[in-house]
Structure 1
Amino acid sequence: MKNLLQSSLAKFLTIAGFALCACFSANAQTIDKDDSIYQGLGKKEGITKIVNDFVPMILADQRIAHFFSKIKKEEFSELLVAQFCELAGGPCQYKGRDMYESHQGMGISNAHFNALAEDLQMAMEKNDIPSSISNRLVAKLAPMQRPIVSK
């Protein structure tokens, strides 16, 4: 009888725990669905304009252009739009490879990563994105430095 009671109590606590987690998870998703960066970037149309300025900048940037010599410009641009859109809280879904897989063995340094970030900042400035918004997008991108930089 005691084991049955303990077993029932354990099942109840497990179910209650899952229910509690589900409530917190649902609330977290609501709270995390802040699309103010997405809105500040001009939604998908604005992000596309930024990327359309950004990609030619990185292809012309002698510090990093060699990393992009074999890309398919249109496909790369579409992936960037989706990635920026998703990170900014927009409705897009990035379906590209993860950052570690994409950059493994490329020998990317902090200087290369920073050059790319500078180009992105310039593309956003060119599109009149307020610094408060551009800084928030860069902050969302910053955690990618670790899986990208290898030296």
Structure 2
Amino acid sequence: MRDVFKRIGGKAAVDAAVDRFYEYMLTDDRVKHFFANINMEKQRQHQKDFISFALGADGGYAGKDMRSAHQHMVDHMGLSDVHFDATVENLVKALRDLNVPEDIITEAGAIVESTRTDVLCR
């Protein structure tokens, strides 16, 4: 699974996917409220860094761990499986829009799914 970053097309592909992903997230009534009053330029960059790392890019990830990054949303905004599912759906749509092969989408989805417990602070 760690070679997904290269197979997806590297940094340029991840950047395009994250930008498209946020087009969906910011218009999705299930999740858009989580991004109110957020610096979206900074958020996009954090997401690009994390997704690159998670998909196997060289280098590390210097951002917060998933629990720390999402604890406030779980405790005060009700972040739940419904929102996580919407996030995965939006990522899959973004990847399909960019003509990423289905086998890579499946692998990327499995990687994202592996973060569910930490993102939802369980």
Q: TM-score, normalised by structure 2?
A: 0.88
Residue matched to 2:43: 76
**Is the contact between residue 54 and residue 123 of structure 1 (CA under 8 Å) also seen in structure 2?**
yes
> Aligned-pair RMSD on alpha carbons?
1.7
Is 1:131 the counterpart of 2:98? The answer is no
Q: TM-score, normalised by structure 1?
A: 0.72
Is 1:44 the counterpart of 2:11? The answer is yes
Provide the rounded CA distance (Å) in 2 between the counterparts of 1:92 and 1:128. Answer: 26
Q: How many residues align?
A: 118
Distance change (3 Å), C-alpha of 1:149 and 1:108: same
**Offset of residue 91 of structure 1:** 1.7
Distance change (3 Å), C-alpha of 1:129 and 1:76: same
Structure 2 residues without counterparts, runs of 5 or longer = none
Structure 1 residues without counterparts, runs of 5 or longer = 1-31
**Offset of residue 150 of structure 1:** 5.6
Residue matched to 1:112: 83
* Among candidates 53, 58, 62, match of residue 20 of structure 2: 53
Larger Rg: 1
Q: Which has more helix, going by share of residues?
A: 1
* Among candidates 107, 110, 118, match of residue 147 of structure 1: 118
**Offset of residue 77 of structure 1:** 0.8
Provide the rounded CA distance (Å) in 2 between the counterparts of 1:78 and 1:123. Answer: 17
- The higher-RCO structure (CA 8 Å, 6+ apart) is 2
What is the DSSP-based 3-state SS (H/G/I as helix, E as strand, rest coil) of the residue aligned with 1:60? coil
Provide the rounded CA distance (Å) in 2 between the counterparts of 1:71 and 1:137. Answer: 25
